[in-house]
Amino acid sequence: MDFAALFALSMSPLELVIRGTALYWFLIFIFRVAVPRNIGEITIADVLLLVLIADASQNAMAGGYTSVTDGFVLIVTLVGWSAAFDWLAFRFPAIQKILEPPPIILIRHGRILHKNLRKEFMTVDELKAKLREHGIEDLMRVKAAYLESDGQFSVIEVDGNVSDKGGSTDNRVI
């Protein structure tokens, strides 16, 4: 085994520094200025975009492309498609239904919907842990609990004064 080749540079250190710096500043611009998002809003499409950008960035930094600009063009293309799909989903509800899954109800009127839990590979213990995070220990306090399309867990509680006959409810999302 040739240890010298293991640590040899394939391009000049200055070129590596310039490529890394250019790509870093470009990605900072893309993620902080062009595509601002709250961290709680990351979806599967966002994760896919990040993976693809990471691959394109790696090739641009390591020299898989002949220029850093090749990487910039690919990254802008990926971000452009992502923004286009977000815009289409916002403007056209029919497209939103295709691109974003609907929330899945896990509890309805205090009863666990085991069929929906199985679809999501969620155990009753995991569901109860999510309820405890929302300060709920008794299933009968839950009017509805949903697994949202972004992976968040939301709960609508029954008002404390509700009778078995279906009195008033409080529709606060907790």
**Alpha-carbon gap, residue 19 to 13, rounded angstroms:** 10
pLDDT (mean) for 123-152: 90
Q: Which residues contact 90 (CB under 8 A, 6 or more apart)?
A: 96
Give residue 170's pLDDT.
Answer: 44
> Are the C-beta atoms of 52 and 78 separated by less than 8 Å?
yes
Tens-digit pLDDT profile for residues 22-50:
888 888 787 776 666 554 566 667 777 88
Give residue 65's pLDDT.
Answer: 66
Tens-digit pLDDT profile for residues 59-105:
777 767 677 788 788 888 888 888 888 889 889 988 888 877 789 99
Residue 28 vs residue 10, higher pLDDT: 28
